[in-house]
Structure formats: C-alpha cells, structure tokens
Structure 1
Amino acid sequence: MKKTSILFVCMGNICRSPTAEAVFRKYIEDADLMDAVVIDSAGTHAFHIGNPPDRRSTTVAAERGYRMDVLRARQVSAGDIEQFDYVLAMDHENLSILKQLAPSHLRDKPQLFMSFAPDYGLSEVPDPYYGGANGFEQVLDMVEAACDGLIQTIRHQSGGR
C-alpha cells in the first residue's frame, strides 16, 4: 500500500511548519497510522537551513505533549511538490511561492493548510516569529484544528482506518 505523504510549508521552517509536522506526527501515532503516512516540513526561504525550530515554538508545543527537538529546517524544492501527495502552505504568500516553484502540471497541488479547518474562520496561519508568546499559542490552536480535519480526510481516503 502506498503511503500518503504530507509536506507542511512556511517561510523559514522554524515556527509554523515544524509545529504542524510535530502535531500531525502525534495525531498519526495516536491513530495508529504511522505505517500509512509520511510527514515532513520545509520552508520557502533558506534563512534557517539546518537549524532546530524556534525555542518559543518548541516550548509551547512541549507543554501540549508535542516533540520538536529532532526537527531541522530545510528548504522546499520543486521535487517536493512532485513527491508529496499534500503540499500544505501556512499562508497565501508561501502558497504563491509554491505554485511558482511547482512544475506547470502541478501548479494546483499546493493548498492552504487551513482549508482543512474551514469552520475556524481563518485561511492563514499567522507567522508568530516577531510577536509575543500568545502568537505561538494561537498557531498551535490553529494547527491542531487543521490537523483534525487533515486526519479525517486521510482516514476517509484510506477507507476509514
């Protein structure tokens, strides 16, 4: 059986996308779907390649039981858009960059991550980097909501596992 692959993408791959990767990894583990899913994250910019996630993201995530300490930032590539089943951008700016990076036949593949939480009322996960601690809490709340919707979608596609 082919694994479903998901790539979460933000700008620097140190706040929003690694948070989404860590949360979704825990959701998949809790749902006993680790053998059916591949999860990764990346950034559209090369600002932080090789660096761990922002300590504020890591701290907030750890308080809710998510581990981010093993993650390292990397930059997204055109090959990622071909390789992953889901390429999920945190905001419109990164979505636009992904669509430009994508091969022409895959321009519609990248999508907004928050599309999996339509009832949340926001289409973008805001970048908390220059804000206060509550911004990281808000990001985590939004990521959890979208991860709930994403796991439901994957379960539906895999026949309800």
Structure 2
Amino acid sequence: MSSTGILFVCLGNICRSPTAEGVFRRKLAEKPQLKALLEVDSAGTAAYHVGEPPDRRSAAVAARRGYDLSVLRARAVMAEDFEKYDYVLAMDQQNLFNLQAVCPPQFNGHLSLFLDFAGKQDAEVPDPYYTSGDRGFEEVLDLVEAASDGLLAHLEAELLR
C-alpha cells in the first residue's frame, strides 16, 4: 500500500507549520499502524527562511509540552508537493489562497485550512511571529493539538477501515 502524504503549510515555515509537523509526528508515533501509512512534512509559501530551524519561541513552547522541533528546517512549497502529498493543509486563509493559486488542476487531494479538522470551519491558526511573549505560541500549540487530534481521527477512519 502506498503512503498518504500530509503537508502543513504557513508563510515562512518557522512557526505554525513546523509546530503542526512536530505535534502531528509525536501524536502519530502513538499510532504505529497509522504511522506506517503516512508521510508528514511542512513548508512555507514564502521562501524567507529556507534552511533555518523553527523560530526559537516556537521551539521553546513546543519543548515545554514535549514536542521536539529541533531537527526541522524551513523549506518552500514546490510544485511537486501537489504530486507527493494527499493533504495540503494551510494555517490561514492567505496561505490557502497562495496554495490555490499554484495548485495544478489535476490535484486530486485535499486542500483546506488545517483547523477544519478541529471542527472550526474557516478558522485560522494565527501567526505568532510578531507577538511578544509566549502567549501567541501557546495559542498556536493549543489549536494545532486540537486539529492534529481531529486529523488523526479522520485518517484512522479513512485509512484503517
């Protein structure tokens, strides 16, 4: 059986999408049967931070909850991502628009906002980059954890039925 690909996308791939990747990977590790069927990555629609690690504030807040983001490095979304990934999940409406603008017509996957999987239609994971303190990063983590749980439940129903 071929793997199902999941790509989390924000603007620079240093705050929200690597947090989503790290959270989802750890939650997925607790589900070995599902883990064997999935490939997970993150990317940004802008190439501002290619090759850089996640924002230190994202990494610190994630680490306090047991998520390790240290091995992740920012990369830009590429045209091939629409061939490789079945789920392309944007953190906010602007990045969803950016993805829709470059999405090839033959893409048969799922392109949506990530928080749709938390039961929050049209809701966005806010960008914490310009916030002071950790509160914005904590909020991102709360939202990402909820959406990750919803996505895992969806994938279990879809792939393990």
Distance 1:82 1:2 in 2: 13
Distance 1:67 1:58 in 2: 7
CA deviation after TM superposition for structure 1 residue 104, in Å: 2.1
Q: 1:88 corresponds to which residue? A: 89
Q: 2:118 corresponds to which residue? A: 117
Does residue 53 of structure 1 match 2:54? yes
SS in 1 for 2:80: helix
Identity across matched positions, percent:
53
State the one-letter code of the partner of 1:22: G
SS in 1 for 2:138: helix
Residues 99 and 108, structure 1, Cα contact 8 Å, conserved in 2: no
RMSD of aligned residue pairs (Cα, Å): 1.5
Q: 1:134 corresponds to which residue? A: 135
SS in 2 for 1:104: coil
Give ranges in structure 1 of 5+ residues lacking alignment.
none
Q: 2:18 corresponds to which residue? A: 18
Normalising by structure 2, report the TM-score: 0.94
After superposition, residues 37-48 of structure 1 pair within 5 angstroms as 37-48=38-49
Distance 2:7 2:60 in 1: 22
Distance 2:116 2:102 in 1: 21
CA deviation after TM superposition for structure 1 residue 70, in Å: 0.2
Give ranges in structure 2 of 5+ residues lacking alignment.
none
Does residue 9 of structure 1 match 2:9? yes
Q: 1:71 corresponds to which residue? A: 72
After superposition, residues 147-158 of structure 1 pair within 5 angstroms as 147-158=148-159
Distance 2:4 2:13 in 1: 21
CA deviations over 1:72-94 (Å, ceiling 9, x no partner): 00000121022101000000000
CA deviation after TM superposition for structure 1 residue 107, in Å: 8.5
Q: 1:100 corresponds to which residue? A: 101
State the one-letter code of the partner of 1:51: E
CA deviation after TM superposition for structure 1 residue 127, in Å: 0.2
Residues 77 and 101, structure 1, Cα contact 8 Å, conserved in 2: no
Residues 85 and 109, structure 2, Cα contact 8 Å, conserved in 1: no
SS in 1 for 2:6: strand
Normalising by structure 1, report the TM-score: 0.94
Count residues with an aligned counterpart: 159
State the one-letter code of the partner of 2:71: V
CA deviations over 1:53-73 (Å, ceiling 9, x no partner): 000000000000101000000
Residues 81 and 110, structure 1, Cα contact 8 Å, conserved in 2: no
CA deviation after TM superposition for structure 1 residue 4, in Å: 1.5
Distance 1:121 1:75 in 2: 26
